[in-house]
Structure 1
Amino acid sequence: MVISSGYELHPEACEFLESLRAVDSSVNTERNYAGRIALYLSYCAVRGIDWTRPTLWQLSAFLHWLVEEPLPPRGRVAPSEPRYREEKTANAIVSTASRFLDFCSTRGWVPLEVVNMLWEPKFLRHAPPGYDVGEDGQFRVVRARTIKFRVAVDGYEWLSSEQIETLTGLTGNARDRFLVTLLAVTGARIGEVLGLRREDMHFLSDSRMLGCSERGPHVHIRRRANSNGALAKSRQPRSVPVETDVVGLYSEYQHERDKVAEAAGADMVFVNLFRQPLGEPMKYHGAKDLFDRLARKAGFTARPHMLRHSAATRWIRGGTDPDVVQALLGHASGQSMEPYLHSTGEERREAVERGAAHRKASS
């Protein structure tokens, strides 16, 4: 929810967030959007701007203010140097504000002319891989935001096998070790893993007694409502095979959690063992805190989604058919596979050296 400084609900913003829940957006998406909308509304309130009727100049000023205004300190101690938002972060905030205004226009709260100035038609001369432009090219014209910074596309981050081993070695308990390993070997999203139930863990060599025809140890990933807000992004259920060492780590974790009375009978796989409330499902912020601690100890950036990229990269380099990788990751479209096609510096150098050798041999 979004509230004013007087602790009053902002009805339009709250209805927009409710619309996100209606289409099963994740808790993280709703939380991020709520913060961005609150930032836009606060900016307008301080400057006396009618948030329902901003001008193009005012929205452009908001975009630049986002990168020029120092961020508040994270803790009690102020940093030695001020922190600022990146331009891509400012773009994301303005994009959310534009989507909010777009939604409000459908309810009659924002004039249509305001929304029309936020977007402009753009002709896709070169369509992205996998994009269907239509038989007559009718889908080549798309809507593009008018207010944004031009920023370079960041490379997708992933972790090497050695870095993953470092992270697992730094974990201080069986639960965290199993969590990191499961993310790394299944390529599952953090929301999917935090939403696992015990009934999803089919770690027998033969699961027919469980009513499952899948052979060998595997994990079932299903989209369902969970009390911790975890949500599987894909609507289609899938199963991902795992190796026996993962089964061993799960057994160690089961032994660890059975020592905590509140957690012994819990239905969710990942639960609180070391903080209150004991036995309750582990939440997103708990997983984030874990990876932040591991990253500080390891000395490199580590986030749950990086392990998903690592798994996909490992499968592709191992010669796994792209359709199989797509099924393992739970992607509905092959176009979604593009971010996971990583190459290393060694691979790029080998390609250049092969080209140079071929050129010399031909001359």
Structure 2
Amino acid sequence: MPSGSRYWTVIDDELHVMSVADRFLRELRFGRDRAESTSEAYARGVALFLCWCVRTGRDWTTAAAEMGLFMTWLKYTPTGDGQVVIGPGAAPVRGEARINAVLVAVRAFLSFAVVNGQAPQWVLGAIYELADTRDLPLETQSEDGGLFYRLRARHSLKEPETAMDRASDEEIVALFMACRSARDRLIVLLLSRVGLRRSQTVGLRRSDLHLLPDNRSLGCDVEGAHLHVTRRENANGAWSKSRRSYSVPADFLVVQAIDQYLLERHQCPEASNSDFLLVNLFRPPLGEPMPPGAVNELFKALCARAGLARSVTPHMCRHTFGSNLADSGALLDEIQHLMGHASPTSSQPYLHPSVSRLRQAVDRVPTPRVLAEGVSR
């Protein structure tokens, strides 16, 4: 865009922009303030739906009546292939989670088309069903006893339960020791001891670091060393998921790692004009901000170098941070703020109690004297 902001769109085989999809994706990106990466994910999902419609001779405005066939096509047809022909023992090319993510994008696109008069009204009934709230908590019902109704997606696949796990402290230490630069060591600590997301980490600016005991000279009333996490447009595509800005204290390990990295960064003249904290120091384009994908590449290399038995992802380090807070006795509202969540319920999936804390919880349960005497007999 002329402002420098970017979004993803959908083009056809003749390289013409699909106008309805383009308007939908622009509204998603700028009207709903979603991340560029979100517009990419939705654009890919809409493109798959439109591709299916073209290759099977369907009108996209009415194809919602056969979403089950689209799901089958998604499951067995690789990108770039023609119509699906399922044979005995055919292996799926997309998993349940990926198919559900595509369906989310398609439902949002079709809803937009209906509201804007580009698709018939009955399409909403083909992709959603009305569900009352009688089986939901009372707070979702009206005060006069009436019922609220909500739209529930008609089509979805049951996903296998694969809960995200925390990286252990031993794994964090192994990753840290496998680093070959001060920059990489800082990245590991920002994820595991500050709890930043991958995009928040590479989106940090040097001006976000307030490392003085008293930061009022910087125009900041927060005492002690801390980092500010702010949602903003970034040239490297990084985007803070948290809509609100917040600050996170930095302990002495993080402050020391920052000092060591800034000395290393100073050796790269190309980095001097960049306000981004984390920049390319060892490969071109030198001095440019690191993209989010570079953090994933770093962790793959670190896991291999450290000889870990499993692959540790950047997000698992954020789970480590939340879990360690809980293990140390932090309250849920404290964890919520430090992780930048709008609601305490958003913090709960990040809490994985350690084995020792579970043992302590059991040991705190009092034992009735009668039971103790009976067991000892």
TM bucket normalised to smaller: 0.7 to 0.9
What 5-or-longer segments of structure 2 have no aligned partner?
1-8, 81-89
Pick from 94, 100, 105: which aligns with 1:96? 105
| Equivalent residue in structure 1 for 2:294, among 263, 286, 291 | 286
Closer, same or farther: CA 59–177 of 1 in aligned 2, 3 Å: same
**Structure showing greater Rg:** 2
Per-residue Cα deviation, 1:49-79 (whole angstroms, up to 9, x for no partner): 11111143x211111222233578xxxxxxx
Letter in 2 for 1:307: C
Letter in 2 for 1:96: A
Q: Against the structure 1 CA distance between its residues 13 and 202, is the aligned structure 2 distance closer, same or farther, given a 3 Å change threshold? A: same
Q: Does 1:333 align with 2:333?
A: no
- How does 1:293-332 map onto structure 2 within 5 Å? 293-297=301-305, 298-332=308-342
Q: Counterpart of 1:147?
A: 155
Q: Secondary structure at the match of 1:142?
A: strand
**Distance between the aligned counterparts of 1:109 and 1:233, measured in 2?**
31
Deviation at 1:26, TM superposition (A): 1.3
The alignment-based identity, stated in percent, is: 35
Q: What is the identity, as a one-letter code, of the residue corresponding to 1:283? A: P
Say if 1:125 and 1:179 are closer, same or farther in 2 by CA, change over 3 A: farther
Q: CA deviation at 1:159?
A: 1.0
Match of 2:114 in 1: 105
Note the C-alpha offset of 1:27. Answer: 2.0
Aligned-partner Cα distance in 2 for 1:146–1:176? 45
Q: How far is 1:347 from its partner?
A: 5.6
CA distance in 1, matches of 2:69, 2:355: 40
Matched length:
353
* Partner SS for 1:186: coil
Indicate how the Cα distance of structure 1 residues 295 and 26 shifts in structure 2: closer, same or farther if over 3 A, else same. Answer: farther
Mapped partners of 2:325, 2:139: distance in 1: 24
1:21-100 matches, cutoff 5 A = 21-22=29-30, 23-56=32-65, 58-70=66-78, 84-100=93-109
**Structure 2 matches for 1:117-128, cutoff 5 A?**
117-124=126-133, 127=136
Structure 1 residue 343: Cα displacement: 3.3
Amino acid at match of 1:24: D
Q: Name the SS for the 1:12 alignment partner.
A: helix
Question: SS in structure 2 opposite 1:319?
Answer: coil
Summarize the Cα distance change of 1:226–1:35 in structure 2 as closer, same or farther, 3 Å threshold: same
2:238 to 230, 244, 254: 230
Give the secondary-structure state (helix, strand or coil) at the position aligned to 1:89: helix
Distance 2:227 2:151 in 1: 40
Report how far residue 193 of structure 1 moved.
1.9
1:18, CA displacement in angstroms? Answer: 0.7
Q: Using the TM superposition, give the Cα deviation of residue 327 of structure 1 relative to its aligned residue in structure 2, in angstroms.
A: 1.0
Q: 1:236 to 1:44 in 2, by over 3 A?
A: same
Q: Is the 1:71–1:83 contact (alpha carbons within 8 Å) kept by the matching residues of 2?
A: no
Query: What are the ranges of 5 or more consecutive residues in structure 1 without an aligned counterpart?
Result: 73-80
Moved more, 176-185 or 285-294: 285-294
- The SS at the match of 1:120 is strand
Paired with 2:134 and 2:311, the residues of 1 have a C-alpha distance of 36
State the distance in 2 between where 1:274 and 1:249 align: 18
Offset at 1:345? 5.6
Going from structure 1 to structure 2, the CA distance change for 1:217 and 1:352 (only over 3 Å counts) comes to closer
Deviation at 1:136, TM superposition (A): 4.9
| Residue-by-residue CA offset, 1:310-330 (whole Å, 9 max, x unaligned) | 111111121111111111111
SS at match of 2:228: strand
TM-score (norm 2): 0.84
Task: Give the Å deviation of 1:133.
Answer: 4.8
1:298-355 per-residue CA deviation (whole Å, 9 max, x = no partner) reads: 3422222222221111111211111111111111112212212323566667777998
Q: CA contact under 8 A between 1:71 and 1:82: conserved in structure 2?
A: no
Map residues 251-270 of structure 1 onto 2, 5 A cutoff.
251-270=259-278
CA RMSD, 1 decimal: 2.8
The one-letter amino acid paired with 1:326 is: Q
Hey, what's the Cα distance between the residues in 2 that align with 1:137 and 1:39?
Answer: 43
Native 8 Å contact 2:327 2:353 kept in 1: no
- Distance change >3 Å, CA 138–CA 309, structure 1 → 2: farther
Q: Which amino acid aligns with 2:324?
A: R
Q: Secondary structure at the match of 2:63?
A: coil
1:13 & 1:260 partners in 2: Cα distance? 43
Please report how far the alpha carbon of residue 172 of structure 1 lies from its aligned counterpart in structure 2 after TM superposition: 2.2
